[in-house]
Amino acid sequence: MPKRIPIIIDTDPGQDDAVAILLALASPELEILAITTVAGNVPLALTELNARKICELGGRPDIAIYSGAIRPMVRNLVTAEEVHGKTGLDGPVLPDPVMPVQKQHAIDFIVETLMSHPAGTITLCTLGPLTNIALALVREPRIASRIKQIVAMGGGYFEQGNVTPSAEFNIYVDPHAARIVFDAGIPITLMPLDCTHQALTTQKRIEAFRTMTNRSGPATAAMLDFFERFDENKYGTDGGPLHDPCVIAWLLQPELFEGRLVNVSIECESELTMGATVIDWWKVTRRPLNAQVMRNVDAEGFFTLLRDRIATLP
Ligand code: BDR
Ligand code: CA
């Protein structure tokens, strides 16, 4: 078997984060070095608890989980309980986890790991606000040239925003962190709303998880039932967008996605457009090409991958 891809998943679970984690747990191509948690969809204490619940659901209590930033760098924390529920993981009833949280802070873990592994080997998969990654870059700027790539869910251009008319949640929550990350010269692949809004959790797709004979499939269906109700209402679609698993799916099957290498700059000044990802899709500036921005996903292929993999979990 070819060498596994070493990854760190930085996340704020969240049902769609949870499905992304399950997909990673089910994928032998990936070596999960750790999961680091950040405040986002719900406060930090809950994102850390939820990450542990999901690892135990997926039969991997051995995964190391590190707790990270409790709030964004500059702004006050904005959460999204209206989407994810009070716990951040409303839907299935999952047991309280027994696996531990590591003592080391996530930011120290990220720095130490990148500095001690060969340069250009570790991929960061970011599923929430970019606070942990930015703080790690501030703490040890030399990590920038050691990160192989960042694959991030965030932003939007053609679809604009989901939390304000111009900003997507992950970038809006910590735009200052996002600016540090996008300006650091690290290769980035971005999954914006333009792409994730095509990956809809239709009834038919959810049923495929519900009818699995393992525990992870029906739990996924219960999470998606809860998660989609807010967006179905908002967008009037059959199903809601399944954002975060696109990050992991791209690592496994990049051919499911299409996009282009462009400049992404983050708005941090105007309150009206705070957290907007200004994507130079038509290359009208000479700004550096800092991110491969995905525009389309083969939604059928994406859900087939998810189904096939989650079926292999306990
Ligand atoms: C992003 O925001 C969160 O609510 C989801 O988990 C996803 O990471 C979508 O805008
Ligand atoms: Ca998320």
Instruction: Please give the Cα distance from 113 to 116 (Å, whole number).
Output: 5
Give catalytic status of residue 197 as yes or no.
no
Top mutation candidate among 16, 164, 171 for ligand 1, by most atoms within 8 Å of CB: 16
Evaluate: CB of 14 within 6 angstroms of ligand 1.
Answer: yes
Evaluate: CB of 33 within 6 angstroms of ligand 1.
Answer: no
The predicted pLDDT at position 78 comes to 98
Question: Percent of the chain, pLDDT > 90?
Answer: 95
Question: Percent of the chain, pLDDT > 70?
Answer: 100
What share of residues in the chain are helix, strand, coil (percent, to 5)?
40, 20, 45
Of 290, 273, 293, 296, nearest in space to 281 by CA = 293
pLDDT per residue over 20-40, tens digit each?
A: 999 999 999 999 999 999 999
Of 97, 133, 189, 104, nearest in space to 10 by CA = 133
Atom of ligand 1 nearest to the CA of 84: 4
Which phi and psi (to 5°) does residue 171 adopt?
-80, -40
What are the structure tokens assigned to 287, written together?
A: 């700004």
59 with 314: CB under 8 angstroms?
yes
pLDDT per residue over 261-295, tens digit each?
A: 999 999 999 999 999 999 999 999 999 999 999 99
Topology adopted by domain 5-310 = Inosine-uridine Nucleoside N-ribohydrolase; Chain A (3.90.245)
Q: Which residues pair with 291 in a beta bridge?
A: 188, 262
Evaluate: CB of 228 within 6 angstroms of ligand 1.
Answer: no
Top mutation candidate among 125, 127, 163, 294 for ligand 1, by most atoms within 8 Å of CB: 127
Evaluate: CB of 194 within 6 angstroms of ligand 1.
Answer: no
Stated pTM of the model: 0.98
Instruction: Please give the Cα distance from 85 to 105 (Å, whole number).
Output: 27
Evaluate: CB of 231 within 6 angstroms of ligand 1.
Answer: no
Following DSSP, what letter does each residue of 2-43 receive, concatenated? Answer: PPPEEEEEEE---HHHHHHHHHHHT-TTEEEEEEEE-SSSS-
pLDDT per residue over 63-122, tens digit each?
A: 999 999 999 999 999 999 999 999 999 999 999 999 999 999 999 999 999 999 999 999
Nearest CA to ligand 1 atom 10: 169
pLDDT per residue over 167-221, tens digit each?
A: 999 999 999 999 999 999 999 999 999 999 999 999 999 999 999 999 999 999 9
Strand intervals (E) in the chain: 5-11, 30-37, 65-67, 122-126, 147-153, 188-191, 257-262, 264-266, 277-279, 291-297
Mean pLDDT of 217-228: 95
Q: Which residues in 165-200 are b (16+ Cβ under 10 Å) and which e?
A: ebbbbbbbbbbbbbbbbbbbebebbbbbbbbbbbbb
Q: Which residues pair with 39 in a beta bridge?
A: none
